[in-house]
Amino acid sequence: MRSTTLCLPVQGNPAERILLGMKKTGFGRGKYNGFGGKIEDGETPEAAAVRELAEECGIVAAESDLEPVGRLVFTFPARPEDDHDVQLYIIRKWQGQPAETSEMKPVWFAVGDIPYNEMWADDSYWLPAVLKGKKVSGEVYFSEDNEEVDGITIRTE
Ligand code: 6OG
In whole angstroms, give the CA distance from residue 8 to residue 6: 7
Q: Over the chain (157 residues), what is each successive 10-residue block's mean pLDDT?
A: 98 97 97 98 98 98 98 97 98 98 97 98 98 98 97 97
Residue nearest to atom 24 of ligand 1 (CA): 37
In whole angstroms, give the CA distance from residue 102 to residue 56: 8
Model pTM score: 0.97
- Nearest of 127, 108, 132, 103 to residue 9 by alpha carbon: 108
**Of all atoms in ligand 1, which is nearest to the CA of residue 6?**
22
Task: Indicate whether this complex's ipTM tops 0.90.
Answer: yes
Contacts (Cβ under 8 Å, ≥6 apart) of 52: 5, 7, 35, 36, 37
Expressed in angstroms and rounded, the spacing between residue 69 Cα and the centre of ligand 1 is: 15
Q: What was the pLDDT predicted at 48?
A: 98
Expressed in angstroms and rounded, the spacing between residue 37 Cα and the centre of ligand 1 is: 7
Q: What was the pLDDT predicted at 52?
A: 98
